[in-house]
Structure 1
Amino acid sequence: MAYFDEMMDTPDLSKLRDRGSKKWVAMMLPEHLKLVREYIADQKKSPRPELDEWDIDIIQENIQISMQRNVEVEIKTWKDGAFTYSVGKLTWVDLKNRVIEVEDVFKSFVIRLDEIVDVTVLE
């Protein structure tokens, strides 16, 4: 009976070495792993903010101010679920093609007007 009393005591958890998530990888197919990675990537994406006419007017006004004063602006853009920030001076605006050209210290680049979420004048 003493043997069974020893067995009923609490087990020593320090001897337990769990392999964590490694033990589940062997059961997952490459298709499952691909779907899990895509799901995690989709969860990190942020939705495109909806701009009303007030927001668009503020963006347009800040673009005009930066062009007139020749000052730097910070442009916040949204593309594929991620926000990016660019800082530089606006060199020209092409309304026909709906793009603006921004020149920073190192290079000049083009940003589509449809991707712009916010423009801040830096003075």
Structure 2
Amino acid sequence: MKINQQLRVIKDRGTIKWQGMLLNEPVKTRREEVEEDKPMPQPKLDAYDLQLIQEELESALKRRCNVIIHTWKEGKVTRHYGTILSIDRDACILTYADPFKDRTLNPDEIVSVNIVE
């Protein structure tokens, strides 16, 4: 079998060599999204933090003002917005009204409370 010297096959990486330059932004964005999806470890709250959360909840309940409550459950922090209606310590339930309906939370899952003025 004769090989024509002028028709040599060039072994090139093709588009692989351009992949790094062309896909920088989408790859970076995807890495950030994957990083955000990782489960977040449960925040460690000491006695002082728990006392501040309790005071904010009681103050918001008395004043009937809007609050932003952050809860941690199964590696995710969720933001809740509304007005606190009641706190049942025996049943361990906090009831608040958001713009759509009344909802309940477990106070043990609360990691922060902020009063909205």
TM over 0.5: yes
Pairwise CA distance, 1:12: 2.6
Distance in 2 between residues matched to 1:97 and 1:118, nearest whole Å: 21
Pairwise CA distance, 1:11: 2.3
Aligned equivalent of 2:62, options 54, 59, 68: 68
Aligned equivalent of 1:109, options 81, 100, 103: 103
Pairwise CA distance, 1:108: 0.4
1:11–1:109 CA distance, 2 compared to 1 (3 A): same
Q: Which residue is equivalent to 1:93?
A: 87
Query: Runs of 4+ in structure 1 displaced over 4 angstroms?
Result: none
Q: Which residue is equivalent to 1:81?
A: 75
- Give unpaired runs (5+ residues) of structure 1: 17-39
* TM-score under structure 1 length normalisation: 0.68
Distance in 1 between residues matched to 2:72 and 2:38, nearest whole Å: 14
Aligned equivalent of 2:43, options 49, 56, 60: 49
- Percent sequence identity is 31
Distance in 1 between residues matched to 2:12 and 2:82, nearest whole Å: 63
* TM-score under structure 2 length normalisation: 0.71
- RMSD of equivalent CA atoms: 2.4
Distance in 1 between residues matched to 2:78 and 2:53, nearest whole Å: 16
Match of 2:14, SS? helix
Q: Which residue is equivalent to 2:29?
A: none
- Give unpaired runs (5+ residues) of structure 2: 17-33
Number of residue pairs aligned between Structure 1 and Structure 2: 94
Pairwise CA distance, 1:64: 1.1
